[in-house]
Protein backbone atom coordinates (compact mmCIF):
# COMPACT_ATOMS: atom_id res chain seq x y z
CA UNK A 1 0.00 0.00 0.00
CA UNK A 2 1.11 3.55 -0.58
CA UNK A 3 0.99 6.10 2.23
CA UNK A 4 -1.16 9.15 1.55
CA UNK A 5 -0.91 10.90 4.91
CA UNK A 6 -0.13 10.40 8.59
CA UNK A 7 -2.67 11.28 11.25
CA UNK A 8 -1.98 12.78 14.67
CA UNK A 9 -2.76 9.49 16.41
CA UNK A 10 -0.01 7.63 14.55
CA UNK A 11 -2.07 5.96 11.84
CA UNK A 12 -1.25 6.14 8.15
CA UNK A 13 -3.96 6.62 5.55
CA UNK A 14 -2.97 4.28 2.73
CA UNK A 15 -4.25 3.36 -0.71
CA UNK A 16 -3.92 -0.24 -1.94
CA UNK A 17 -1.76 -0.87 -5.00
CA UNK A 18 -3.63 -1.91 -8.09
CA UNK A 19 -3.70 -5.69 -8.43
CA UNK A 20 -2.70 -6.11 -4.80
CA UNK A 21 -5.84 -8.06 -4.01
CA UNK A 22 -6.39 -5.87 -0.95
CA UNK A 23 -9.88 -5.38 0.37
CA UNK A 24 -11.65 -3.06 0.39
CA UNK A 25 -10.24 -2.39 -3.06
CA UNK A 26 -9.33 1.16 -4.08
CA UNK A 27 -10.53 2.69 -0.81
CA UNK A 28 -8.04 4.42 1.50
CA UNK A 29 -7.62 2.54 4.75
CA UNK A 30 -6.01 3.37 8.08
CA UNK A 31 -2.89 1.37 8.86
CA UNK A 32 -0.95 1.02 12.10
CA UNK A 33 2.68 1.92 11.42
CA UNK A 34 4.27 1.33 14.82
CA UNK A 35 6.44 -1.51 13.49
CA UNK A 36 7.99 0.42 10.62
CA UNK A 37 7.99 4.07 11.65
CA UNK A 38 9.13 6.62 10.69
CA UNK A 39 6.91 6.57 7.62
CA UNK A 40 6.44 9.34 5.08
CA UNK A 41 3.71 10.03 2.52
CA UNK A 42 4.61 8.20 -0.68
CA UNK A 43 6.25 5.27 1.11
CA UNK A 44 5.24 1.77 0.01
CA UNK A 45 4.28 -0.55 2.86
CA UNK A 46 3.69 -4.29 3.14
CA UNK A 47 0.45 -4.39 5.14
CA UNK A 48 -1.21 -7.36 6.79
CA UNK A 49 -4.42 -7.15 8.81
CA UNK A 50 -4.15 -3.40 9.19
CA UNK A 51 -0.52 -3.31 10.31
CA UNK A 52 2.49 -2.37 8.22
CA UNK A 53 5.07 -5.15 8.59
CA UNK A 54 7.68 -3.71 6.26
CA UNK A 55 8.57 -0.53 4.44
CA UNK A 56 9.46 -1.52 0.90
CA UNK A 57 12.54 -0.03 -0.71
CA UNK A 58 12.19 2.52 -3.47
CA UNK A 59 14.62 0.87 -5.88
CA UNK A 60 14.37 -2.32 -7.83
CA UNK A 61 14.20 -5.49 -5.83
CA UNK A 62 15.71 -8.87 -6.46
CA UNK A 63 15.67 -12.23 -4.84
CA UNK A 64 18.84 -13.66 -3.46
CA UNK A 65 19.66 -16.78 -1.58
CA UNK A 66 21.38 -16.27 1.73
CA UNK A 67 22.51 -19.49 3.29
CA UNK B 1 3.95 -3.14 -11.83
CA UNK B 2 6.83 -2.94 -9.39
CA UNK B 3 7.32 -6.02 -7.16
CA UNK B 4 4.90 -7.99 -9.39
CA UNK B 5 5.67 -8.02 -13.12
CA UNK B 6 9.28 -9.15 -12.76
CA UNK B 7 8.08 -12.19 -10.81
CA UNK B 8 5.54 -13.35 -13.41
CA UNK B 9 7.79 -13.51 -16.46
CA UNK B 10 6.91 -16.62 -18.49
CA UNK B 11 10.36 -16.97 -20.14
CA UNK B 12 12.08 -16.90 -16.76
CA UNK B 13 9.55 -19.43 -15.51
CA UNK B 14 10.38 -21.81 -18.33
CA UNK B 15 14.10 -21.32 -17.71
CA UNK B 16 13.67 -22.14 -14.02
CA UNK B 17 11.59 -25.16 -14.96
CA UNK B 18 14.44 -26.41 -17.16
CA UNK B 19 16.95 -25.86 -14.36
CA UNK B 20 14.76 -27.88 -12.00
CA UNK B 21 14.54 -30.75 -14.50
CA UNK B 22 18.30 -30.72 -14.85
CA UNK B 23 18.97 -31.35 -11.17
CA UNK B 24 16.35 -33.94 -10.20
CA UNK B 25 17.35 -37.60 -10.18
CA UNK B 26 15.22 -39.71 -12.54
CA UNK B 27 13.40 -42.39 -10.61
CA UNK B 28 13.52 -40.53 -7.31
CA UNK B 29 10.27 -39.18 -5.90
CA UNK B 30 10.47 -35.77 -4.23
CA UNK B 31 7.89 -34.40 -1.80
CA UNK B 32 8.20 -30.74 -0.89
CA UNK B 33 5.73 -29.12 1.48
CA UNK B 34 4.67 -25.52 0.98
CA UNK B 35 3.65 -24.49 4.49
CA UNK B 36 1.63 -21.41 3.64
CA UNK B 37 -1.86 -21.37 2.15
CA UNK B 38 -0.96 -18.27 0.15
CA UNK B 39 1.67 -20.33 -1.63
CA UNK B 40 -0.88 -23.05 -2.41
CA UNK B 41 -3.05 -20.49 -4.16
CA UNK B 42 -0.18 -19.10 -6.21
CA UNK B 43 0.80 -22.63 -7.26
CA UNK B 44 -2.64 -23.39 -8.69
CA UNK B 45 -3.55 -19.93 -9.89
CA UNK B 46 -0.42 -19.79 -12.07
CA UNK B 47 0.01 -23.52 -12.76
CA UNK B 48 3.39 -23.64 -11.05
CA UNK B 49 3.11 -27.40 -10.46
CA UNK B 50 2.65 -27.93 -14.21
CA UNK B 51 6.18 -26.60 -14.67
CA UNK B 52 7.64 -29.25 -12.36
CA UNK B 53 8.80 -32.73 -13.34
CA UNK B 54 6.34 -35.53 -12.59
CA UNK B 55 8.52 -36.87 -9.80
CA UNK B 56 8.38 -33.58 -7.86
CA UNK B 57 5.22 -33.35 -5.76
CA UNK B 58 4.11 -30.30 -3.82
CA UNK B 59 2.37 -31.16 -0.56
CA UNK B 60 0.19 -28.58 1.15
CA UNK B 61 0.82 -27.69 4.77
CA UNK B 62 -1.03 -26.29 7.78
CA UNK B 63 -0.32 -22.60 7.19
CA UNK B 64 -3.87 -21.39 6.57
CA UNK B 65 -5.00 -19.59 9.73
CA UNK B 66 -8.72 -20.16 9.23
CA UNK B 67 -8.31 -23.82 8.28
CA UNK B 68 -6.63 -24.86 11.52
CA UNK B 69 -9.34 -23.49 13.83
CA UNK B 70 -11.18 -26.47 15.36
CA UNK B 71 -14.96 -26.65 15.44
CA UNK B 72 -15.08 -26.25 19.20
CA UNK B 73 -13.48 -22.83 19.03
CA UNK B 74 -16.05 -21.77 16.41
CA UNK B 75 -18.78 -22.90 18.80
CA UNK B 76 -17.10 -20.90 21.57
CA UNK B 77 -17.12 -17.80 19.38
CA UNK B 78 -20.79 -18.27 18.53
CA UNK B 79 -21.61 -18.64 22.24
CA UNK B 80 -19.95 -15.28 22.94
CA UNK B 81 -21.63 -13.68 19.90
CA UNK B 82 -25.02 -14.70 21.28
CA UNK B 83 -24.50 -12.94 24.61
CA UNK B 84 -27.07 -10.10 24.70
CA UNK B 85 -25.52 -6.73 23.95
CA UNK B 86 -22.31 -8.08 22.46
CA UNK B 87 -21.04 -6.89 19.10
CA UNK B 88 -18.94 -9.77 17.77
CA UNK B 89 -16.37 -8.96 15.09
CA UNK B 90 -14.27 -11.23 12.90
CA UNK B 91 -12.58 -11.49 9.53
CA UNK B 92 -14.91 -12.38 6.65
CA UNK B 93 -13.61 -15.94 6.22
CA UNK B 94 -14.39 -16.82 9.82
CA UNK B 95 -18.05 -15.95 9.41
CA UNK B 96 -18.56 -18.96 7.13
CA UNK B 97 -16.57 -21.57 9.05
CA UNK B 98 -18.94 -24.26 10.33
CA UNK B 99 -18.98 -25.16 13.99
CA UNK B 100 -21.11 -27.99 15.31
CA UNK B 101 -24.00 -25.55 15.82
CA UNK B 102 -23.71 -23.59 12.58
CA UNK B 103 -21.68 -20.59 11.49
CA UNK B 104 -21.28 -17.06 12.76
CA UNK B 105 -23.13 -15.95 9.64
CA UNK B 106 -26.09 -18.10 10.68
CA UNK B 107 -25.86 -16.73 14.21
CA UNK B 108 -26.04 -13.25 12.67
CA UNK B 109 -29.11 -14.26 10.66
CA UNK B 110 -30.67 -15.50 13.89
CA UNK B 111 -30.19 -12.12 15.56
CA UNK B 112 -26.66 -11.97 16.95
CA UNK B 113 -24.78 -8.76 16.15
CA UNK B 114 -21.88 -10.22 14.17
CA UNK B 115 -19.88 -7.83 12.02
CA UNK B 116 -17.11 -8.43 9.49
CA UNK B 117 -13.94 -6.36 9.91
CA UNK B 118 -10.76 -6.06 7.88
CA UNK B 119 -8.50 -5.57 10.88
CA UNK B 120 -8.54 -5.54 14.70
CA UNK B 121 -8.31 -1.76 14.43
CA UNK B 122 -11.74 -1.76 12.75
CA UNK B 123 -13.10 -3.67 15.76
CA UNK B 124 -11.56 -1.17 18.17
CA UNK B 125 -13.14 1.64 16.16
CA UNK B 126 -16.56 -0.04 16.58
CA UNK B 127 -15.92 -0.31 20.33
CA UNK B 128 -15.18 3.41 20.57
CA UNK B 129 -18.34 4.18 18.58
CA UNK B 130 -20.42 1.97 20.92
CA UNK B 131 -19.16 2.68 24.44
CA UNK B 132 -22.27 1.18 26.07
CA UNK B 133 -21.76 -2.24 24.43
CA UNK B 134 -19.07 -4.92 24.63
CA UNK B 135 -17.19 -5.44 21.37
CA UNK B 136 -15.35 -8.75 20.94
CA UNK B 137 -12.76 -9.44 18.25
CA UNK B 138 -12.27 -13.07 17.12
CA UNK B 139 -8.48 -13.04 16.74
CA UNK B 140 -6.98 -15.70 14.47
CA UNK B 141 -3.74 -16.12 12.60
CA UNK B 142 -0.08 -16.93 12.92
CA UNK B 143 2.76 -14.59 13.88
CA UNK B 144 1.90 -12.51 10.80
CA UNK B 145 -1.41 -11.37 12.27
CA UNK B 146 -0.59 -11.45 15.97
CA UNK B 147 1.26 -8.09 15.88
CA UNK B 148 -1.88 -6.44 14.51
CA UNK B 149 -3.97 -7.75 17.41
CA UNK B 150 -1.21 -6.87 19.88
CA UNK B 151 -0.82 -3.30 18.66
CA UNK B 152 -4.59 -2.81 18.72
CA UNK B 153 -4.81 -4.03 22.31
CA UNK B 154 -1.92 -1.75 23.28
CA UNK B 155 -3.77 1.13 21.65
CA UNK B 156 -7.00 0.19 23.47
CA UNK B 157 -5.15 0.09 26.78
CA UNK B 158 -3.40 3.40 26.16
CA UNK B 159 -6.70 5.06 25.22
CA UNK B 160 -8.54 3.58 28.23
CA UNK B 161 -11.08 1.68 26.12
CA UNK B 162 -12.88 -0.68 28.52
CA UNK B 163 -15.49 -2.31 26.27
CA UNK B 164 -13.09 -4.00 23.83
CA UNK B 165 -12.28 -7.71 24.23
CA UNK B 166 -10.25 -10.26 22.35
CA UNK B 167 -11.22 -13.91 21.84
CA UNK B 168 -7.69 -15.07 21.15
CA UNK B 169 -7.00 -17.94 18.75
CA UNK B 170 -3.56 -16.90 17.55
CA UNK B 171 -1.18 -19.77 16.88
CA UNK B 172 2.51 -20.18 16.20
CA UNK B 173 4.08 -21.89 13.20
CA UNK B 174 6.98 -23.91 14.58
CA UNK B 175 5.11 -26.42 16.83
CA UNK B 176 2.86 -27.79 14.05
CA UNK B 177 5.84 -28.14 11.72
CA UNK B 178 7.65 -30.13 14.39
CA UNK B 179 4.49 -32.23 14.86
CA UNK B 180 4.37 -32.93 11.11
CA UNK B 181 8.03 -33.88 11.06
CA UNK B 182 7.41 -36.30 13.92
CA UNK B 183 4.39 -37.80 12.14
CA UNK B 184 4.86 -41.30 10.73
CA UNK B 185 2.20 -40.54 8.08
CA UNK B 186 4.36 -38.22 6.05
CA UNK B 187 7.72 -38.44 4.36
CA UNK B 188 8.91 -35.04 3.22
CA UNK B 189 12.11 -34.09 1.45
CA UNK B 190 12.03 -30.36 2.16
CA UNK B 191 9.99 -27.27 2.91
CA UNK B 192 8.95 -24.07 1.18
CA UNK B 193 8.98 -21.77 4.21
CA UNK B 194 6.17 -19.29 4.88
CA UNK B 195 6.99 -15.84 3.55
CA UNK B 196 4.70 -13.61 5.56
CA UNK B 197 5.22 -15.33 8.91
CA UNK B 198 8.94 -15.06 8.28
CA UNK B 199 8.59 -11.31 7.77
CA UNK B 200 7.84 -11.23 11.50
CA UNK B 201 9.81 -14.16 12.94
CA UNK B 202 12.68 -14.21 10.43
CA UNK B 203 14.51 -17.30 9.21
CA UNK B 204 16.07 -18.30 12.52
CA UNK B 205 13.07 -20.25 13.95
CA UNK B 206 13.23 -22.68 11.02
CA UNK B 207 16.84 -23.71 11.64
CA UNK B 208 15.59 -26.70 13.65
CA UNK B 209 14.31 -28.31 10.44
CA UNK B 210 17.75 -28.91 8.88
CA UNK B 211 19.50 -29.30 12.24
CA UNK B 212 17.11 -31.75 13.90
CA UNK B 213 15.46 -33.42 10.90
CA UNK B 214 17.94 -33.06 8.07
CA UNK B 215 15.51 -31.34 5.68
CA UNK B 216 16.25 -28.26 3.53
CA UNK B 217 14.12 -25.12 3.73
CA UNK B 218 13.69 -22.22 1.32
CA UNK B 219 11.60 -19.32 2.60
CA UNK B 220 9.59 -18.11 -0.38
CA UNK B 221 7.77 -15.13 -1.76
CA UNK B 222 4.30 -15.35 -3.24
CA UNK B 223 4.75 -14.75 -6.95
CA UNK B 224 5.07 -17.70 -9.34
CA UNK B 225 8.77 -17.15 -10.01
CA UNK B 226 9.37 -16.90 -6.25
CA UNK B 227 7.91 -20.35 -5.81
CA UNK B 228 9.69 -21.90 -8.78
CA UNK B 229 12.99 -20.50 -7.54
CA UNK B 230 12.29 -21.79 -4.03
CA UNK B 231 11.52 -25.29 -5.31
CA UNK B 232 14.78 -25.10 -7.26
CA UNK B 233 16.68 -24.03 -4.13
CA UNK B 234 15.31 -26.95 -2.10
CA UNK B 235 16.05 -29.45 -4.86
CA UNK B 236 19.53 -28.00 -5.39
CA UNK B 237 20.29 -28.47 -1.70
CA UNK B 238 19.20 -32.09 -2.01
CA UNK B 239 21.28 -32.58 -5.16
CA UNK B 240 24.36 -31.11 -3.50
CA UNK B 241 23.83 -32.92 -0.21
CA UNK B 242 23.33 -29.66 1.64
CA UNK B 243 20.72 -28.99 4.28
CA UNK B 244 20.07 -25.46 5.52
CA UNK B 245 17.59 -22.60 5.67
CA UNK B 246 17.80 -20.38 2.61
CA UNK B 247 15.91 -17.15 2.15
CA UNK B 248 14.53 -16.72 -1.37
CA UNK B 249 12.29 -13.88 -0.10
CA UNK B 250 15.23 -11.74 0.99
CA UNK B 251 13.59 -8.63 -0.48
CA UNK B 252 11.04 -8.85 2.35
CA UNK B 253 12.24 -11.29 5.03
CA UNK B 254 15.09 -10.20 7.32
CA UNK B 255 17.00 -13.12 8.84
CA UNK B 256 16.27 -11.93 12.36
CA UNK B 257 12.65 -10.97 11.68
CA UNK B 258 10.96 -7.78 12.81
CA UNK B 259 12.29 -7.13 16.30
CA UNK B 260 9.59 -4.61 17.21
CA UNK B 261 6.83 -7.01 16.11
CA UNK B 262 8.31 -9.79 18.22
CA UNK B 263 8.47 -7.40 21.18
CA UNK B 264 4.79 -6.47 20.98
CA UNK B 265 3.80 -10.14 20.62
CA UNK B 266 5.73 -11.06 23.76
CA UNK B 267 4.30 -8.09 25.66
CA UNK B 268 0.65 -8.78 24.89
CA UNK B 269 0.56 -12.59 24.59
CA UNK B 270 1.86 -15.64 26.36
CA UNK B 271 1.95 -19.26 25.26
CA UNK B 272 -0.90 -21.57 26.23
CA UNK B 273 0.18 -24.95 27.64
CA UNK B 274 -1.54 -26.56 24.66
CA UNK B 275 -3.97 -25.65 21.88
CA UNK B 276 -6.15 -27.76 19.63
CA UNK B 277 -5.53 -27.68 15.87
CA UNK B 278 -7.95 -29.03 13.34
CA UNK B 279 -6.54 -32.30 12.06
CA UNK B 280 -3.44 -32.14 14.19
CA UNK B 281 -5.02 -32.41 17.65
CA UNK B 282 -3.56 -30.74 20.72
CA UNK B 283 -0.06 -29.37 20.27
CA UNK B 284 1.96 -28.09 23.21
CA UNK B 285 2.88 -24.41 23.34
CA UNK B 286 1.36 -23.75 19.94
CA UNK B 287 -1.33 -21.21 20.84
CA UNK B 288 -1.30 -17.72 22.31
CA UNK B 289 -3.49 -16.16 24.99
CA UNK B 290 -3.49 -12.69 26.43
CA UNK B 291 -0.80 -12.02 29.00
CA UNK B 292 -1.62 -11.03 32.58
CA UNK B 293 -1.03 -7.37 31.71
CA UNK B 294 -3.87 -7.59 29.17
CA UNK B 295 -6.22 -9.89 31.10
CA UNK B 296 -8.84 -7.12 31.28
CA UNK B 297 -9.29 -7.51 27.51
CA UNK B 298 -9.58 -11.30 27.54
CA UNK B 299 -12.99 -12.45 26.28
CA UNK B 300 -12.40 -15.92 27.75
CA UNK B 301 -12.24 -14.33 31.21
CA UNK B 302 -15.12 -11.95 30.56
CA UNK B 303 -17.63 -14.59 29.32
CA UNK B 304 -18.60 -18.19 29.92
CA UNK B 305 -16.94 -20.03 27.06
CA UNK B 306 -18.13 -23.64 26.63
CA UNK B 307 -14.68 -24.95 25.69
CA UNK B 308 -16.06 -28.28 24.48
CA UNK B 309 -13.99 -30.30 22.04
CA UNK B 310 -16.01 -31.14 18.94
CA UNK B 311 -15.06 -33.85 16.44
CA UNK B 312 -15.03 -32.92 12.74
CA UNK B 313 -17.87 -34.27 10.58
CA UNK B 314 -17.04 -37.81 9.46
CA UNK B 315 -17.32 -36.90 5.80
CA UNK B 316 -14.81 -34.04 6.12
CA UNK B 317 -11.12 -34.86 5.66
CA UNK B 318 -9.68 -31.40 6.29
CA UNK B 319 -7.40 -32.92 8.91
CA UNK B 320 -5.71 -35.19 6.38
CA UNK B 321 -5.51 -32.32 3.88
CA UNK B 322 -3.89 -30.05 6.47
CA UNK B 323 -1.31 -32.71 7.28
CA UNK B 324 -0.58 -33.21 3.59
CA UNK B 325 -1.59 -36.86 3.80
CA UNK B 326 -4.21 -36.57 1.04
CA UNK B 327 -4.88 -34.13 -1.76
CA UNK B 328 -8.15 -32.19 -1.66
CA UNK B 329 -9.63 -34.11 -4.58
CA UNK B 330 -9.16 -37.33 -2.61
CA UNK B 331 -11.65 -36.16 0.04
CA UNK B 332 -15.01 -37.92 -0.33
CA UNK B 333 -17.03 -34.71 -0.34
CA UNK B 334 -14.69 -32.44 -2.33
CA UNK B 335 -16.54 -30.62 -5.07
CA UNK B 336 -19.80 -32.42 -4.39
CA UNK B 337 -21.26 -31.88 -0.93
CA UNK B 338 -18.40 -29.50 -0.06
CA UNK B 339 -17.94 -26.46 -2.29
CA UNK B 340 -17.04 -22.81 -1.61
CA UNK B 341 -20.79 -22.03 -1.62
CA UNK B 342 -21.65 -24.84 0.80
CA UNK B 343 -18.44 -25.65 2.66
CA UNK B 344 -18.29 -28.51 5.11
CA UNK B 345 -14.66 -28.07 6.07
CA UNK B 346 -12.47 -25.06 6.77
CA UNK B 347 -10.12 -25.78 3.86
CA UNK B 348 -12.96 -25.02 1.45
CA UNK B 349 -13.98 -21.83 3.28
CA UNK B 350 -10.81 -19.86 3.53
CA UNK B 351 -9.29 -17.92 0.69
CA UNK B 352 -6.02 -19.61 1.70
CA UNK B 353 -7.45 -23.12 2.03
CA UNK B 354 -6.03 -25.90 -0.14
CA UNK B 355 -9.48 -27.23 -1.06
CA UNK B 356 -10.62 -23.77 -2.16
CA UNK B 357 -7.48 -23.43 -4.29
CA UNK B 358 -8.08 -26.77 -5.99
CA UNK B 359 -11.76 -26.00 -6.53
CA UNK B 360 -11.32 -22.44 -7.76
CA UNK B 361 -8.56 -23.37 -10.21
CA UNK B 362 -10.22 -26.52 -11.54
CA UNK B 363 -8.02 -29.21 -9.98
CA UNK B 364 -10.67 -31.86 -9.54
CA UNK B 365 -8.55 -34.95 -10.17
CA UNK B 366 -5.05 -36.38 -10.18
CA UNK B 367 -4.18 -35.30 -13.71
CA UNK B 368 -1.78 -32.50 -14.14
CA UNK B 369 -0.39 -30.95 -17.27
CA UNK B 370 3.35 -31.36 -17.14
CA UNK B 371 5.02 -28.95 -19.50
Residues of chain B positioned with their CB less than 8 A from the CB of A64: 250
Assign B367 a pLDDT band (cuts: 50, 70, 90): low
**Alpha carbons B319 and B322: distance in angstroms, whole number:** 5
Using DSSP bridges, classify how beta strands B113-116 and B87-90 pair: parallel, antiparallel or unpaired. Answer: parallel
Residue B6: the pLDDT is 81
> Is residue A62 scored above 60 in pLDDT?
no
Tell me the pLDDT tens digit for each residue of B34-77. Answer: 999 999 999 999 999 999 999 999 999 888 899 899 999 999 99
> Is residue B371 scored above 80 in pLDDT?
no
ipTM over 0.85: no
User: In chain A, what is the greatest distance between 2 CA atoms, to the nearest angstrom?
Assistant: 42
Burial readout B301-314 (b: 16 or more C-beta within 10 A, e: otherwise): ebbebeeeebebbe
Which residues make beta-bridge pairs with B312? none
**Alpha carbons B204 and B222: distance in angstroms, whole number:** 20
CA dihedral B245, B250, B252, B258 (to 10 degrees): 50
The mean per-residue pLDDT over the stretch B222-248 comes to 97
Which of B37-46, B111-120, B287-296, B341-350 is least confident? Answer: B341-350
Residue of chain A minimizing CA distance to B236: A65
Residue B315: the pLDDT is 86
Tell me the pLDDT tens digit for each residue of B134-174. Answer: 999 999 999 999 999 999 999 999 999 999 999 999 999 99
C-alpha closest to that of B352 among B137, B122, B124, B140:
B140
Residues of chain B positioned with their CB less than 8 A from the CB of A19: 1, 4
Residues of chain A positioned with their CB less than 8 A from the CB of B121: 11, 30, 32, 50
CB contact under 8 A, A32 and B252: no
**Alpha carbons B149 and B273: distance in angstroms, whole number:** 20
CB contact under 8 A, B151 and A24: no
Residues of chain A positioned with their CB less than 8 A from the CB of B233: 65
Nearest to B233 among A23, A29, A65 (CB): A65
Tell me the pLDDT tens digit for each residue of A16-57. Answer: 876 665 666 678 999 999 999 899 999 999 999 999 999 986
Residue of chain A minimizing CA distance to B125: A30
Amino acid sequence: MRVLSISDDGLALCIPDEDSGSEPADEPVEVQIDLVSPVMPGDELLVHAGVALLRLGGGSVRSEAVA
Amino acid sequence: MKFVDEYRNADLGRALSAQIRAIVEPGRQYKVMEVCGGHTHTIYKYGVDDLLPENVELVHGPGCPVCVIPMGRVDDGIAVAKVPGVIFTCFGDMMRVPGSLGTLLEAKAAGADVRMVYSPLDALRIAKQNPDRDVVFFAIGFETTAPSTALTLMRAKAEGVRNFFCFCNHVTIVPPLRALLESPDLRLDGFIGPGHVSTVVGALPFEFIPKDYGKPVAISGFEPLDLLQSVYMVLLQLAEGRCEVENQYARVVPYGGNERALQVISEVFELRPHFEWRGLGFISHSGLKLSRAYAAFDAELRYEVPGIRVADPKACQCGEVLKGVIKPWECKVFGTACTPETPIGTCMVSSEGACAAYYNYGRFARERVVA
